Amino acid sequence: MKRILFSSVFLLIVTFSSAYFFSTQAQTTLPLTVFPATQDVSIEPDKPTRFQVQFRNGSNEALPGFIRVADFAVVDAVGTVELIEGTVTKPKYSASSWIRLDNDRITIPARDFVTVDLYVNTPKSITTCGKYALVYFEPNPSAISGLAAGPERKSSALISAKLGALVNLKYEGVSCKESVRISSLTSSSFLEYGPLPISFSVVNGGDAHITPQNTVTVKNLFGQVVDQQTIQDQRIFPEKERLFELSSGNRWMIGKYTIAVRSIIQGKANLQDSKTISVIVFPWKVAAIIILALIITTILIKRTYLSTKKHTSELEKEVKEEKEEIDRLKEALKKREG
């Protein structure tokens, strides 16, 4: 069995039609694109179907290479893909053995494109609703080195890159099993500052891929919505789990917040699942500084007040004594005159 492990960058290649090429010594980017990057092909059991994939060369030199059809497997919750080639045992949702092409060698002219015809021959009986394959173009390594600049042009250790289009075979008249479940929803139970870090996983328990609408809603202690985010167009393959991570709110948050996540498959069944957790946000350091400042301010005000009151009392006492002395002098003066 020959397996080539791709990082999540490979999913970006499929999703956004942009190719990234890697060598053992340096990284090279070639102007190659594929259209459509993801294609749904409607098929019927035991009936041939034709579809096309277009590969475009944006460089100034012709690019020879090979067209391959392979299976793949999603191996973790973040979308890491393992490309599977050269194995007799096919994955449960494999479609590569059903797809054939007339010619596996092509040369894409400079600043031009080549359209590849592919044919699907399905068996009479179908065990699962979803079937998937990857149609990719593998440039000749010598052509890549010829397009590279500087030291890369002389390197003989370049690894062939692969630019692929994801093919989803859709069966006409076949009822697919649909299922969606939020397997986990986590965040920190206590935070000093926002925003709130949110992580949740959605499991597809059906036999075909789904693209559920995931909505994350954050409410404060009074039930007011402080933030709401919708995550769409995230494909989850059959019997696989997809992890979503995001942040919500701003830095200055205080109080108890409720995080609610709802995942919906819009269709005939309108399947959905939801989960809720609570998070407390309290900037205790800032609160401690404010409280300490208030205590110090109160003490200073009290001391100032007491000092002022004492000084006023002493002045009143001196004035009273002086008044009494003046009264005594007046009495003494009256006795002399009398």
d(CA 14, CA 81): 11
Tell me the mean pLDDT in the region 183-209.
94
12-21, 188-197, 276-285, 322-331: segment of lowest average pLDDT: 12-21
Tell me the mean pLDDT in the region 121-143.
83
Q: What pLDDT was estimated at residue 136?
A: 92
How many percent of the chain have pLDDT more than 90? 46
d(CA 104, CA 86): 16
Residue 69 has pLDDT above 50, yes or no: yes
Q: What are the tens digits of pLDDT across the range 259-272?
A: 999 999 887 667 89
Residues 6+ apart with CB under 8 A from 26: 148, 151, 152, 155
Q: Give the pLDDT band (50/70/90) at residue 218.
A: very high
Tokens 């039609």 label which residue? 17
Look at domain 181-282 and name its CATH class: mainly beta
Residue 77 has pLDDT above 80, yes or no: yes
Tell me the mean pLDDT in the region 172-182.
84
Cβ 274 vs Cβ 264: under 8 Å: no
Q: Give the pLDDT band (50/70/90) at residue 338.
A: low
How many percent of the chain have pLDDT more than 70? 83
Domain 2-171 falls in which CATH fold?
Answer: Immunoglobulin-like (2.60.40)
Q: Give the pLDDT band (50/70/90) at residue 26.
A: very low
Which one is predicted more confidently, 327 or 282? 282
Q: What pLDDT was estimated at residue 100?
A: 92
The answer, as to whether pTM is greater than 0.75, is no
Residue 232 has pLDDT above 90, yes or no: no
